[in-house]
Structure 1
Amino acid sequence: MLTNVVAGRHRPASTGSALTLVDPSTGTTSGHTVNSRQSDVDEAMTAAASAFPRWRRSTPAERQRALLALADALESGAETFADAEIRETGKPRRVVLDEEIPECVSALRFFAGAARLLEGTAATEYAPGHTSFVRREPVGVCAQIAPWNYPLMMAVWKIAPALAAGNTVVLKPAETTPSTAVLLAETAAEQLPPGTFNVVLGDRDTGRALVSHPLTDLVSITGSTRAGIDVATTAAADLKRTHLELGGNAPLLVFGDVDVAETAEGICAAAFYNAGQDCTAASRVLAHESVYDELVAALTKAAAGTRTATADADFGPLNSAAQLSRVQGLIDRLGDHAELRTGGRRAADHGFFFSPTVIANLRQDDEIVQEEIFGPVITVQRFASEAEAVALANDVRYGLAASVWTRDHARALRVSAELDFGCVWVNTHGPLVLEMPHGGFRHSGHGKDLSAYSFAEYTRVKHVMSRL
């Protein structure tokens, strides 16, 4: 039974309520976790609030050393973290060990360095006889809610900038993928003062208790738009700061001058990575009419060659039976005009695997075009002009990521400026770097992960003026 980690120690929940964990590769029970309630949240929030005065007064160098030590411990314990991540996500082991955990280690080291690079305006006299300067200060106690698609990575993306800036944290992982967050808190207990980083486990009610708690100063969530609206609504009642990294429905604008085969391979790699369970997934392809038929054929061929539910799988299962049902429902409700070129069904008689899917001849008002899919599905639409492509791309409620595929540099610059999305790639889709911000507009939320912009999200600005 997984338990909360509060002030560096395992703490059982105050009630006997428990949640069942399921291995998505088999569909069978893999363990149980406590389902925390108000008193458990109170305990964790009190611990974080008690630890805040000491942690905020620590020097940037001290915070840097602690985060670097945590990064080293995560790196040396990679196999243990990978076992836990794979048990609850079903991801291919090579992906977790070779890609995701190294990125987590790198993020901790990046924000360890950011702790010592906080910049401010120069102190000067803007009024005669008075000197002004600006202080950047930690916000306070941060309640953070992580998703199930990248459990460890999203936990690190949240705690690293918050801790580096001098805040304390209470993290709630997704109820289906809590193990790596618990491991991270156990590991951090050896590097951080008690109460600096705490983990509470539970369902949506646990998350709501965190958001509404009077000791919470800032709420950060990575999740669906629905969950983000719920958090924002609850936080607004007490004017808490929010940081919302929400859903996406990324358009890929493919113009007639591309290498079609190469483009199709790149799109499929970005669409099917992590079974399409990514808010930036390359799911919504807009193809110029001159290459539409050729591109659909190339995407279909590439998708048919992508493996899942095998020993050498390119991607693993969907997270849960509910997610499998949701993706299948989107397929089943397609209109008669839609052309299912490949896939569109469960890929195995065990677990929650879904086959790589390509659907052509879709319309802008189709449900599967307007809604985030979060599964290994590519939809394809046709456009005739640059202006039409931009209009179709922007005609959804999301604004997280997009990409432009063309050999025309001027077109790439024009279109990227017109796309209403927080990240626009050119001739690629999906790469993120720690030095650049990640975050969206509109129903994809607000606030930035990664980079110095993320670090700034976890600080507040204070003007200090002294009479000379």
Structure 2
Amino acid sequence: MTIAPAAADATTDLVVTDPVDGTVASTVPRASEPEVRDAVARARAAAGPWARTAPAERGALLRAAAEHVRAHAQELADLNTRETGKVPGDALGGVEAGVGTLVQYAELGPVHRGEALRGQFGAADWAVPHPRGVVLALTPWNDPVAVACGILGAAIVTGNTVVHKGSERSPATIARLNALLAEVLPDGVLVGVDGDGSTGELLLAQDGIDVYAHVGSTATGDRLSEVAVATRAHVVRENGGNDAVVVDADVDPEWAAAQVALGAFANTGQICTSVERVYVHRDVAEPFVAALVAEAERRTAAPADTYGPLVDERLRSTVQSHVDDAVQRGATARTGGVTPDGVGTFYPATVLTGCTDEMLVMTEETFGPIAPVRVVDDFDEGLRLAAADRYGLAATVLTNDTGHALRAAAELPVGTVKVNAVFGGAPGGSAQPRGASGAGFGYGPHLLDELTTTTVVHLEPAPARTTGGTK
């Protein structure tokens, strides 16, 4: 792995440009087909011994690996910033979050226990968890270390081995993370594979993979589910989202605007659970929009180390096409909405008003700093529109009405309902996305269950052997 090399082989190397200035940020060799086969074979060979390793020992090794990553946190953060444009503070925070997740799983794994079952008198029944085997982990670029550590930590501590391919948009960051973890773990427990979509297809063609664990696009998640029909691999996937916010009539509009701005513009809108749709009650719509525009303009004018670029030109073109579609259909860009001149892939924080249901900004995941606003007549209308979507990742309601909050929790078909905070949650929380957003528990303690199988044991005493004759 080299940073800013003099030359690269376009047929074999992954070359990433810095989204701030367009220079070469990293070059990483793409794995060949023999290297892909070898990676899966190494993980398969290590699976048996690792499964038989005591859970406490697995936990201790994972904790040591976490501390090794912590010692290189700034290095990983710098790689992340160069490759994706993630602002330095957020990049370092993502690495620290990843370390914390590894430590959490190091503690949870050894106490991930079976269950005693109540059966008949004189017999015993219990359920025992077992590793599934080899996990293929496919992870994204938008918070590469934090997201990857969740899947890797849960898989490894439960006795699985892992073949890990990160996104081709952050290959150097993931290659370094894989190397750091592998320096502590036994050989074959974690094997990194660098590559793009074609490399992913090569991995799917390999025998001996028991789980596909994926965080990323819905299209890739659908592809994994399609392949799993034939391979019978278990699939855990957290995919795209089109998360809604419903702003009720009884909240402070400036506070609500700050919440929505955080959800829509943090990491330049490049978060799976970013705010993608805004439904605001008519009674507070005017001051809310004014405050939201002010929040957007403040972020756009912020220094580059506070408000960063989009990851690449392809994503920026998609974001602009969604904005153009909305404007052509009658929406108004109250601020932003135009691709700026100059180097890099910056895009302004944008507020759209007059949005309607058929616009791409309301029906698709834009994954950029866009806050499309639709005014609703009452909370019922906002809740109904928020629920009417093919995605089912998360949603937020901002309200002082406890009854409205309880209705949202009961009626929104999403994995996470947040009340009065667009981000946040207890450590170890789990969520189960719905619809086009995926399936299975993607993090938290429940991920340990996803990555294990359960054997139910029933034990009865056998009658004593007789030797013949009578006593």
Q: Distance in 2 between matches of 1:412 and 1:92?
A: 34
1:337 aligns to 2:333 (yes or no): no
Q: Distance in 1 between matches of 2:171 and 2:372?
A: 32
Q: Distance in 2 between matches of 1:447 and 1:117?
A: 21
Q: Which residue of 2 aligns with 1:12?
A: none
Q: Distance in 2 between matches of 1:396 and 1:308?
A: 33
Distance 1:223 1:40, change over 3 A: same
Q: Distance in 1 between matches of 2:129 and 2:389?
A: 37
Distance 1:16 1:288, change over 3 A: closer
- How many angstroms does 1:315 deviate by? 2.5
Q: Which residue of 2 aligns with 1:59?
A: 54
Report the more deviating stretch, 128-137 or 87-96. Answer: 128-137
- Tell me, yes or no, if the aligned pair for 1:308 and 1:353 is still in contact at 8 Å: no
1:42 aligns to 2:37 (yes or no): yes
- How many angstroms does 1:465 deviate by? 2.3
Report the more deviating stretch, 413-422 or 107-116. Answer: 413-422
Report the more deviating stretch, 42-51 or 458-467. Answer: 458-467
1:372-408: CA deviations, max 9, x gaps? 0100000001111232112100111100010010111
1:159 aligns to 2:152 (yes or no): yes
Distance 1:308 1:319, change over 3 A: farther
Q: Distance in 1 between matches of 2:237 and 2:311?
A: 22
Partner of residue 370 from structure 2, selected from 377, 380, 389: 377
Q: Which residue of 1 aligns with 2:132?
A: 139
* Equivalent position SS for 2:371: strand
Amino acid of the structure 2 residue aligned with 1:205 = S
- How many angstroms does 1:57 deviate by? 0.8
Distance 1:109 1:282, change over 3 A: same
- How many angstroms does 1:24 deviate by? 1.2
Q: Distance in 2 between matches of 1:355 and 1:395?
A: 28
Partner of residue 448 from structure 2, selected from 428, 450, 455: 455
Partner of residue 116 from structure 2, selected from 98, 115, 122: 122
* Equivalent position SS for 1:292: helix
Distance 1:16 1:251, change over 3 A: closer
Amino acid of the structure 2 residue aligned with 1:274 = N
- Tell me, yes or no, if the aligned pair for 1:60 and 1:115 is still in contact at 8 Å: yes
Amino acid of the structure 2 residue aligned with 1:325 = S
Distance 1:326 1:91, change over 3 A: same
Ranges in structure 1 where 5+ consecutive residues have no aligned partner: 4-14
Report the more deviating stretch, 88-97 or 156-165. Answer: 88-97
1:214 aligns to 2:207 (yes or no): yes
Q: Distance in 2 between matches of 1:273 and 1:194?
A: 38
Q: Distance in 1 between matches of 2:431 and 2:52?
A: 29
Q: Distance in 1 between matches of 2:300 and 2:373?
A: 21
Partner of residue 243 from structure 1, selected from 236, 241, 256: 236
Q: Which residue of 1 aligns with 2:299?
A: 306
Please list, as runs of the form range in 1=range in 2, the aligned pairs for 1:269-284 lying within 5 A after superposition. 269-284=262-277
- How many angstroms does 1:348 deviate by? 5.1
Q: Which residue of 2 aligns with 1:172?
A: 165
Q: Which residue of 2 aligns with 1:84?
A: 79
Superposition TM-score, scaled by structure 2 size: 0.93
Q: Which residue of 1 aligns with 2:286?
A: 293
Q: Distance in 2 between matches of 1:293 and 1:231?
A: 45
Superposition TM-score, scaled by structure 1 size: 0.93
Amino acid of the structure 1 residue aligned with 2:402 = H
Amino acid of the structure 2 residue aligned with 1:276 = G
Distance 1:185 1:308, change over 3 A: farther
Q: Distance in 1 between matches of 2:30 and 2:132?
A: 28
- Tell me, yes or no, if the aligned pair for 2:319 and 2:368 is still in contact at 8 Å: yes
- How many angstroms does 1:248 deviate by? 0.3
- Tell me, yes or no, if the aligned pair for 1:434 and 1:450 is still in contact at 8 Å: no
Amino acid of the structure 2 residue aligned with 1:328 = Q
- How many angstroms does 1:36 deviate by? 2.2
- How many angstroms does 1:173 deviate by? 0.5
1:103 aligns to 2:102 (yes or no): no
- How many angstroms does 1:449 deviate by? 2.5
Distance 1:339 1:16, change over 3 A: closer
Q: Distance in 1 between matches of 2:136 and 2:95?
A: 23
- How many angstroms does 1:122 deviate by? 1.2
Partner of residue 321 from structure 1, selected from 305, 313, 316: 313
1:56-92: CA deviations, max 9, x gaps? 1111111111111111111121111111111111111
1:83-133: CA deviations, max 9, x gaps? 111111111112222x21221111011000111211322155x25664322
* Equivalent position SS for 2:299: coil
- How many angstroms does 1:460 deviate by? 0.5
- CA RMSD for the aligned pairs? 1.8
Q: Distance in 2 between matches of 1:110 and 1:76?
A: 17
- Tell me, yes or no, if the aligned pair for 1:208 and 1:234 is still in contact at 8 Å: no
Q: Distance in 2 between matches of 1:255 and 1:123?
A: 47
* Equivalent position SS for 1:266: helix
- Tell me, yes or no, if the aligned pair for 1:437 and 1:451 is still in contact at 8 Å: yes
- How many angstroms does 1:293 deviate by? 1.8
- How many angstroms does 1:19 deviate by? 2.1
Distance 1:366 1:373, change over 3 A: same
- Identical-residue share of aligned pairs (%): 33
Ranges in structure 2 where 5+ consecutive residues have no aligned partner: 4-9, 462-471
Q: Which residue of 2 aligns with 1:8?
A: none
Q: Which residue of 2 aligns with 1:7?
A: none
Q: Distance in 1 between matches of 2:457 and 2:185?
A: 30
Q: Distance in 1 between matches of 2:302 and 2:292?
A: 20
Displacement over 6 Å in runs of 4+: none
1:26 aligns to 2:21 (yes or no): yes
Q: Distance in 1 between matches of 2:313 and 2:268?
A: 14
- Tell me, yes or no, if the aligned pair for 1:309 and 1:348 is still in contact at 8 Å: no
Q: Distance in 2 between matches of 1:333 and 1:307?
A: 22
Q: Distance in 2 between matches of 1:439 and 1:131?
A: 33
